[in-house]
Amino acid sequence: ARIGEVARKTKETDVKVRINLDGTGVCQSDTGIPFLDHMLDQIASHGLFDVNVKAKGDLHIDDHHTNEDIALALGTALLQALGDRKGISRFGDFTAPLDEALVHVVLDLSGRPFLAYDMEIPTERVGTYDTQLVEHFFQSLVNTSGMTLHIRKLSGKNSHHIIEACFKAFARALRKATEYDERRMGSIPSSKGVLSRA
């Protein structure tokens, strides 16, 4: 199994993340941020990854540091789990609907971190979760995983639906990108012969 495991501790947070890319969609998350737990469950369930996240953070201030450090750790764990990336499909895209919301995600496990984020979310909060943190989550994940990620909202009025469609589309696109391409016969999917952060 392709597994990544990261522990990240700062003065602001204490985060432990484990991801199994060849899992069955089991999620165990305890972040102290209920809506983020719900979104991590979408990544696991729709990506068919096993995701374990435990986090304690300075939530008495706000959710910013905890949201960020979970994403940084998840990106690092993903980087570990991918290893040399031999035989993977590398590219993934998916468009996910949730009622009136429709979100398109395209990604490339290129080793080059880049985020294009085009998501207008109508409200400032979903429950207690600051909707600005969605972009920050994906930027942090991109920075440590070395992923090129494009996210675009095609339609949607309900903030919960928009964000959940985003996470579902991300999960399915990542699933496509991490799956093995039998025709590659274990080769690295790059004309350069290498995919890395360097």
Write out pLDDT tens, residues 26-69: 999 999 999 999 999 999 999 999 999 999 999 999 999 999 99
The pLDDT of residue 197: 58
Boundaries of every domain in the chain: 3-178
Q: What are phi and psi of 91, to 5 degrees?
A: -100, 145
19 - beta bridge partners? Answer: 4, 51
- Kindly provide the b/e burial profile for residues 31-44, where b requires at least 16 CB atoms within 10 angstroms of the residue's own CB: bbbebbbbbbbbbb
The pLDDT of residue 55: 98
The pLDDT of residue 42: 98
Residue numbers in the chain where pLDDT is lower than 50: none
- Three-state SS annotation for 78-145: HHHHHCCCCCECCEEEEEEEECCEEEEEEEECCCCCEEEEECCCCCCEECCEECCHHHHHHHHHHHHH
Global confidence as pTM: 0.95
- Kindly provide the b/e burial profile for residues 149-165, where b requires at least 16 CB atoms within 10 angstroms of the residue's own CB: bbbbbeebebbbbbbbb
The pLDDT of residue 186: 80
Q: The CATH number of 3-178 is which of 3.40.50.2300, 3.60.70.12, 3.40.190.10, 3.30.230.40?
A: 3.30.230.40
The pLDDT of residue 196: 66
Question: Distance between CA 52 and CA 39 in Å, rounded?
Answer: 13
Q: H or E segment at 14?
A: strand 13-20
The pLDDT of residue 198: 52
Q: How many CA atoms lie within 13 A of 50 on its CB side?
A: 11
The pLDDT of residue 194: 67
